[in-house]
């Protein structure tokens, strides 16, 4: 089973990279782009056929390592 994981800074936490990209988009003429948030995308294989078990494992991975939940939030899908 493949896990597709997105980690982003929590809402309300300043994302300086997002701001810089927003300014760059603005100077390129994309005046309607706003609230750019930069994050990480990770893919990994879980050798587990039971979806609930795989999900519990991926959640644990996110909590323990892949995201720092003080500043980041995560979401994932299993395919």
Residues that bind other proteins (CB under 8 A): 9, 13-14, 16-17, 20, 65-66, 68, 70-71
Q: Smallest distance from the beta carbon of 69 to other proteins, in angstroms?
A: 9
Strand order in 72-78's β-sheet? 39-45, 2-9, 72-78
Q: Smallest distance from the beta carbon of 52 to other proteins, in angstroms?
A: 26
* Phi-psi sector, 12: left (phi>0), alpha (psi -120 to 50), beta: left
**Residue closer to other proteins, measured from CB, 9 or 58:** 9
Q: Smallest distance from the beta carbon of 49 to other proteins, in angstroms?
A: 28
């Amino acid at each position: 089973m493949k896990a597709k994981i997105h980690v982003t800074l929590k809402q309300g936490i300043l994302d300086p990279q997002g701001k810089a990209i927003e300014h760059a988009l603005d100077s390129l003429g994309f005046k309607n782009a706003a609230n750019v948030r930069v994050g990480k995308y990770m893919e990994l294989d879980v050798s587990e056929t039971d979806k609930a078990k795989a999900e519990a494992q991926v959640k644990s991975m996110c909590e323990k390592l892949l995201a720092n939940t003080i500043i980041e939030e995560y979401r994932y899908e299993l395919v």
